[in-house]
Chains A and B, each alone.
Chain A
Amino acid sequence: MSSGLQACGISVERGGRRILQEASLDIAHGKFTAIIGPNGSGKSTLLKALAGLWPVSAGEVMFCGKPIRTHSRREIAKTIAFVPQDTRIDFAFTVAEIAGMGRYPHRGRFAPETAADRAATEAALVRCDVAHLKARDANTLSGGERQRVLIARSLAAQPDIVLLDEPTASLDIEHALDILTLCRELAHDGHAVVVAMHDLNAVARFADFVALLDEGRIVGVGPVADVLQPAALERVFGVRAEAVTDAAGSTHFLFHSLK
């Protein structure tokens, strides 16, 4: 796990507007890092910049000691997996075919699927609990199943770092908890897991570290308990946050409108 990934004072511009400003973040292996912030605060942008998918206008994303833009896509894909928010699957690929696509960076142009490819795909399907679906057409799956299959696809590449862009955005509570539990387990296995998410109570329950974004700037970063403070949440989200401790000793937030 020598593959370090850091954002060093990066800014991202789109259409003449700065959507990320001088953001710095160290991605920790074996930890679940949550990226939170209001809509439009730059969560997705930060994630995509970390994946090397969007160019930065200032600063540098450093990957394995070199700027990420100097690595080939193929090299990056072997180590960093990115699960996009768009989970649309229009064509009738089977679940096994979708997951097998994760092996792309490891395979030569005409190389047939090797035993190692099959094993990695199979392990990823089992890991995400979708192995029983592999003969199914992926465009017939439910939202929760589809999200798991896409995570399996990213794990088939055997990455060290997994970046997920709002993986729970369109899921019901049960499936959302399943996905976050899976992310938690991946971190436990030693992956660096970075998740852009909205549910602050889920952050409090599942994440180790939090980066709090406000209008393109990181205004708070550190262990969950340090960043999820009522005052900071009120400033960034514009709501009054009340921290409650339950009988088991975990913290929950209740939110109240300021109006």
Chain B
Amino acid sequence: MEIKSAGMKGAGVKQRLRVRLYYSVTLPLLAISILAAISIGSTPLPWRTIVAVCAIKLLPASWLTAFGSDVSTITATDQLVVWIIRIPRVLVAAVVGAGLGSAGAIMQGLFRNPLAEPGLMGIGPGAALGGVLAFVTGWSSRSVLPLPLLAMAGALLALGLVYAMATRGGVTPIATLLLAGVATGSLVSALSSLLLTLNIANWQIAQEVVFWMMGGLEARTWTHFWLCAPFVAMGLCAGIVEGRELDLLMQGEEAAASLGVNVEAAKRTLIVTVAILTGASVAVAGMVGFVGLLVPHAIRMMLGPRHRVVLPASALGGAVFLILCDLAARTLHPPTEIRLGVVTALCGGPFFLILLLRHYRAASL
């Protein structure tokens, strides 16, 4: 009996070691990719310049003497490139990656399906339509705010519509939710395409809309970061709080209820959480596919399916993945930027296949 309980602890220890290994690789990787993404570009910047600009912006002036000549040689252009152009873009990439990664993990648990992704339930298409409206009406060219705000409104409206259609008497069957989501998603996507077709004569609007639908992070500012980051942080926390409920929902709703979960309340919280995460991410980055599908899947293969582990790990993994994809998007084919959604699909697809093959080979041994 004692040997047996030691065995049980052994399995837990092994898993905890794997989690620790994951973070000890991924956290430095995050720091390196942030630094690399700021430094690489049409104007290459040495890391000392980056550190010096951050010091100027973040530290009180009296401390700057410690940096010596680094600080005194910083030009206004350096400051502009680092602080206004590159850093916000990299941070937005990190936050969007975290948001989409954790949203995907929640969706897959909720639908008991490893192929579920944040675009289901109509949230992604809803956000896309909001964005298209901002372009077509011309509001997006007047200020930064209308585009992300309309996109977020679109996400929440689409979710509200889907949820209302799928709920009867306080009960929301997951299968109905999926069907209502797919139907609403197609309808809303059709509306986006209709708006695009009607405006195809206006070359500039059409290009903006097409680019938006392929996702991208060009010209992102601190405003975009602050629009997105609080919601992603909130959604991630809510997901982690509900992590154990999500584990149980993965066993089937009847099983979860019989084990003591208030199923309808948990589902409601989780669905709204997915909407907040996806809405905030699509609002600032457009439609970026594959992150929500690929990242949680890879994490689950490495660390097992428990959501208290999977959610924060997916957020971190998604952040690193999207920073690197965005770096590739703007440096692979200068001076043209490749669309971010195209890069995520191009890198994500093969990576996903390799993981899948390795997983099945290991399982068959």
Contacts and interface: CB of A to CB of B under 8 A. Distances in A.
A119 B4 CA distance: 11
Contacts of B9: 118
A135 interface: yes
A66 B251 CA distance: 29
Contacts of A73: 257, 260-263
Contact of A104 (B5, B7, B259, B304): B259
A53 B254 contact: yes
Contacts of A242: none
A84 B254 contact: yes
Contacts of B363: 140
B161 to A, nearest CB: 24
B252 A93 contact: no
Contacts of A134: 7-8, 11
A74 B304 CA distance: 26
Contacts of A157: 259-260
B332 to A, nearest CB: 35
Interface residues of B, number: 33
Q: Which of under 10, 10 to 19, 20 to 34, or 35 or more describes the interface residues of A?
A: 35 or more
A93 B254 contact: no
A98 B262 CA distance: 19
Given A90-B113, A91-B114, A122 B5 contact: yes
Interface string B242-283: 001001101110110111111100000000000000000000
Interface stretch (A75-83, A196-204, A214-222): A75-83
B254 A86 contact: yes
Contacts, number: 98
A126 interface: yes
Interface of B is mostly: helix
Contacts of B306: 93, 97
B259 A92 contact: no
Contacts of A140: 363
A124 B12 CA distance: 18
Contacts of A190: none
Nearest to A89: B251
Contacts of A126: 1, 4
A154 B254 CA distance: 13
Contact of B259 (A88, A90, A91, A101): A101
Contact of B304 (A77, A86, A94): A94
A96 B11 contact: yes
A81 B258 CA distance: 6
Given A89-B251, A92-B305, A93-B306, A77 B8 contact: no
Contacts of A121: 8
Contacts of A109: 241, 244
A82 B254 contact: yes
Nearest to A53: B257
Given A73-B257, A84-B255, A105-B260, A94 B11 contact: yes
Given A73-B260, A77-B258, A88-B252, 8 more contacts: A51-B258, A74-B260, A84-B252, A90-B112, A105-B260, A122-B4, A122-B5, A134-B11
30 contacts: A53-B258, A72-B262, A73-B260, A73-B262, A74-B260, A74-B262, A76-B260, A77-B259, A78-B260, A80-B258, A84-B258, A86-B254, A90-B114, A90-B250, A91-B114, A91-B300, A96-B12, A97-B304, A98-B251, A101-B251, A104-B259, A105-B259, A107-B244, A118-B5, A118-B8, A118-B9, A121-B8, A134-B8, A154-B258, A157-B260
